Structure 1
Amino acid sequence: FLSFSAELPGEPAPGFQLRSVDVVLDCHYIEEAVGGFPGAFAGSFSSDPATLVLRGVSIADDGSLDSVTNYEVPGTSADSTSPIIFEVSETLVPIPYAESLLHADCAGEEVTCEISPYSLHVADEMLTQASWFMGTLKLSSGLSIALVLKVRSDREEDGGVAVLHPRLKVPVSNEGTVLTTVEFQLSSHTPALRARLGSSVSLDCSFALAPSSPLASLEWRLQHRGSGRRVFHYQAGDTVQAEQPGAQVDVVQLLETGDASLRLHGVRVGDEGTYICLVSTPQHQAQNIIQLQLVEPPRVRLFPELVSREGNGVSTLTCEISGYYPLDVSVTWTRQAPDDKGKVPVSGSSTYFSSHRQAQDGTYSVNSYLSINTATELAPASHSCHVFSHLALEEQITASAQLRAPEQKISNGLVGIFIATFIFLAALIGLMLRRSKTVDEKSEESLETSG
């Protein structure tokens, strides 16, 4: 079983104090290129450097934050080359996993940050007067965060005239930065999971909403090999619809804490694929994508365990590999005699495979065969089947069979011949003794008669 972990938001550890710090991330501003240059392909995108500043985030201070200073906006110019700087406030919605983002460099993790324009899920005349952006943050450990950002203008609040960013065409601060607040955040610390067949797994999905944006619906969907189906659905005010046996979301936690995690019990091969956690409000919609990969290690059996030299001098070892998932598995054969320092690989025409077979539960099996010419194998040896290179294996599986020494079989034959000869001689001697006794008795009778 594989999962990715990150520090969950919560109360600071005992003895730690919360400290307000700025978290600064290097990002890319991604925008669809519309009429950017002649011959541009529809759907092409442009990418420009940007900076995301999470202002005043509360972090548990263990004494290591003394060197952290607040971010200072560099000098800006009022032209198209102005830097793209987003300042984010968590006044309405807290930013999750901020401590992991702050310490990513020290932990040796890479942070991928992208910001792009965001369109509202449902058009609203009042809301569409504002501009919206989506920030997507991913750590190399697997943590994923989506932030729906609403642009605000401090100049408008002061009664002044808003100045627009020359590139983004949205209001900027006196320093030329784009001021935003988090209206909706969606996160997951398990974007990729690997689990055994028959086990239970939890696909993490959590969210937080501004007070003005109530939850409208939650939907979990599964996509796999070009087809999709709905696994779970909840509509505000309606009853829960679990559309797959063994799929469960705790609706109480969903409504109280924003925990939209999907729990699957007794997962089967058909449960593998890409899961989409889709959270919607009347205006917003965001999603997490989680990959679930199922694995099952192979069972290995080698027979016969002891090879004799009877018959036509050719014996076949069968290595049965069964019950594994997914399909790919590697098999090799080795031979080791008493005088060998190590195992010697065996290959060529003496080894071959059966075709793959798939059981009703979706697992696979295959047989690997090794032919042994017992007429030329004059010394005892161990032949082994090695199964490796499978996703569910941490180490290879080895099964071995023994080739009986020909000397052992010959000596057993000699013992049998000796025993048979001994019995024959004993019987012959006994017969001769009985005949001798009979002759002696007849001679005595003749002497008595003549006397």
Structure 2
Amino acid sequence: MKTIGALLLGLILTLSSPRGRCRGVPQAQHPADVLLPCEYVLLEPGAAGLSFTRQKVTLVLRNLTVAEEEQPETEYQTPEDTEAPIFEATVNLPPLPFAERLLHVECDGEEIVCEITPLYSQFFIAHIRLPEINIALVTKAEPAVDPDKPLDEKSIIRLSGDLLVSSGPPSQRASISTEAKLTCEVWGNVEGVDMEWHLQKDGKGKRINPEEDSGVSVEKNAQEGKEDLSLTIYPLTVHYEGTYICAVSLGPHRLQQILQLQIKEPPQVTLSLVEDPVPTLICRTDHYYPLDVEVEWQLNGAPLTDATPVVSSHRRNSDGTYSLTNQLQVSMPLSGASPDKYNCVVSHVSNEEPIQVEITVSPPEPALLFQIVCFASSLILLAVMLKAIYMFARTVPHGVEKEKKLS
């Protein structure tokens, strides 16, 4: 009974909390009006060149389909007196999977960036950025608005939106030999839509052609009111790192979505001891990317600040990763002393914490030392005996000849 009571109390507290009131359990789809704080951005020429002017506005997305437990009371009433320009866009699109996030952006505390810019003629484009997703909505103004002038504070611009492009994530990191998916989707009347993927890297750009590159594929999955143009890359190599552009063309509209793909490959670290000709520790740092890597040495937990290791240059592997070798000469502990513990500490951008590999350098074992002493003593004794025999062999024949002459 106590457990049931605790569960009921937790449910009541959840429903009565601000977050609980903001979002219910999705059960049905309903139309809703979504308000977003935005900026109206104009490009203006000046004496020092081109500059941007920004004006605070409100974007209202009318008739956006959301999934809620019950129909939300979110019908927007246009105020008679406004303090900032208002863009009212009636959205004629199929249900969007991120519509609820736009509706609850204030309650969930998500960071949102919204900018509206004139496209051409009567068309405007709204760029909306949420964590992990970019949205570009094309709208048409009725009546036309002068795109070269700032808006009057009392302005109410009524728009219709029937084309939207979403992509994400804006930036992602991946490891070599894994799969990366760059999402790009078009919503609305997608008949006749055309798209291209481009890769910008090292100041150069190229169009991606899946027919020529077996490592990439484009889905081109068309549904009613939606077309999926996502790009999949497998297996990943460092050659696929760069800035990807999803370029969408539909009628007079030309839209681009930019996505960043970074390759982060953590290093593989090994540590070994070579005793001949002098005791040397060898720390190998293999198959890391990008190039930036730092290798440090520690002795018994303390940094070896006065160490002078021999460091190789960065070697490029066939898969585009790098390798590095770091060698450190050490002294063997004296017999009977405590072992020394050395750490090779490798820092790389792919790992939040450095990689540490430890090795123990122990003094010579007493049994081995005893064997070495015995062996050396045996050699000395054998040499003495051989010399005595040699001397005896030389003196005996000489004495016998002397006795024969006397007789």
Coarse TM-score class (shorter-chain normalised):
0.7 to 0.9
User: How does 1:45-194 map onto structure 2 within 5 Å?
Assistant: 45-62=52-69, 68-76=73-81, 83-91=84-92, 97-119=98-120, 128=121, 131-139=122-130, 141-153=131-143, 167=149, 176-194=155-173
User: How does 1:272-287 map onto structure 2 within 5 Å?
Assistant: 272-287=241-256
Give the CA deviation at 1:169: 7.6
1:297 aligned counterpart, secondary structure: coil
In structure 2, relative to structure 1, the CA distance for the partners of 1:42 and 1:255 (3 Å cut) is farther
Q: Deviations over 1:17-67 (max 9, x none)?
A: 223222111111001114xxxx5333211111011011132221136x75x
Aligned to 1:369: 327
Contact 2:333 2:361 (C-alpha < 8 Å) held by counterparts? no
| Structure 1 residue 209 corresponds to structure 2 residue 188 | yes
In structure 2, relative to structure 1, the CA distance for the partners of 1:349 and 1:133 (3 Å cut) is same
| Structure 1 residue 405 corresponds to structure 2 residue 363 | yes
Q: Please, which of 330, 342, 345 is the counterpart of residue 303 of structure 2?
A: 345
Aligned to 1:316: 280
Amino acid at match of 2:127: T
Which has the larger strand fraction?
Answer: 2
In structure 2, relative to structure 1, the CA distance for the partners of 1:164 and 1:90 (3 Å cut) is same
Aligned to 1:125: none
Amino acid at match of 1:181: S
Contact 1:214 1:282 (C-alpha < 8 Å) held by counterparts? no
Q: Residues of 1 paired with 2:372 and 2:48: CA distance?
A: 89
The answer for unaligned runs of 5 or more in structure 2 is 1-23, 386-407
Aligned to 1:18: 29
Aligned to 2:348: 389
Aligned to 1:326: 290
Q: Residues of 1 paired with 2:48 and 2:145: CA distance?
A: 32
RMSD: 3.5
Give the CA deviation at 1:417: 4.1
Amino acid at match of 1:325: Y
Q: Deviations over 1:343-386 (max 9, x none)?
A: 12222233342221112321111112222133779542111212
In structure 2, relative to structure 1, the CA distance for the partners of 1:275 and 1:164 (3 Å cut) is closer
In structure 2, relative to structure 1, the CA distance for the partners of 1:278 and 1:421 (3 Å cut) is closer
2:248 aligned counterpart, secondary structure: strand
| Structure 1 residue 218 corresponds to structure 2 residue 195 | yes
Q: Residues of 1 paired with 2:147 and 2:95: CA distance?
A: 26
In structure 2, relative to structure 1, the CA distance for the partners of 1:183 and 1:330 (3 Å cut) is same
In structure 2, relative to structure 1, the CA distance for the partners of 1:150 and 1:315 (3 Å cut) is same
Contact 1:93 1:185 (C-alpha < 8 Å) held by counterparts? no
Amino acid at match of 2:235: G
The answer for unaligned runs of 5 or more in structure 1 is 1-12, 120-127, 154-161, 233-240, 337-342, 429-451
User: How does 1:433-444 map onto structure 2 within 5 Å?
Assistant: none
Amino acid at match of 1:132: F
Give the CA deviation at 1:163: 9.7
The TM-score normalised by the length of structure 2 is: 0.77
Q: Residues of 1 paired with 2:57 and 2:93: CA distance?
A: 24
In structure 2, relative to structure 1, the CA distance for the partners of 1:104 and 1:24 (3 Å cut) is same
Q: Residues of 2 paired with 1:166 and 1:355: CA distance?
A: 56
Q: Residues of 2 paired with 1:32 and 1:14: CA distance?
A: 43
Q: Residues of 1 paired with 2:42 and 2:148: CA distance?
A: 15
Q: Deviations over 1:192-231 (max 9, x none)?
A: 2211112222110000233xx7324210000011001100
Give the CA deviation at 1:112: 0.1
Amino acid at match of 1:149: T
Contact 1:117 1:133 (C-alpha < 8 Å) held by counterparts? yes
Aligned to 1:3: none
In structure 2, relative to structure 1, the CA distance for the partners of 1:166 and 1:146 (3 Å cut) is closer
Q: Residues of 2 paired with 1:292 and 1:335: CA distance?
A: 39
Q: Residues of 1 paired with 2:89 and 2:319: CA distance?
A: 50
Q: Residues of 1 paired with 2:76 and 2:28: CA distance?
A: 21
Q: Residues of 2 paired with 1:28 and 1:421: CA distance?
A: 92
Q: Residues of 1 paired with 2:100 and 2:188: CA distance?
A: 20
In structure 2, relative to structure 1, the CA distance for the partners of 1:394 and 1:165 (3 Å cut) is closer
Q: Residues of 2 paired with 1:381 and 1:334: CA distance?
A: 10
The TM-score normalised by the length of structure 1 is: 0.70
Report the number of matched residues: 359
| Structure 1 residue 355 corresponds to structure 2 residue 313 | yes
In structure 2, relative to structure 1, the CA distance for the partners of 1:292 and 1:367 (3 Å cut) is same
Aligned to 2:220: 251
In structure 2, relative to structure 1, the CA distance for the partners of 1:298 and 1:254 (3 Å cut) is farther
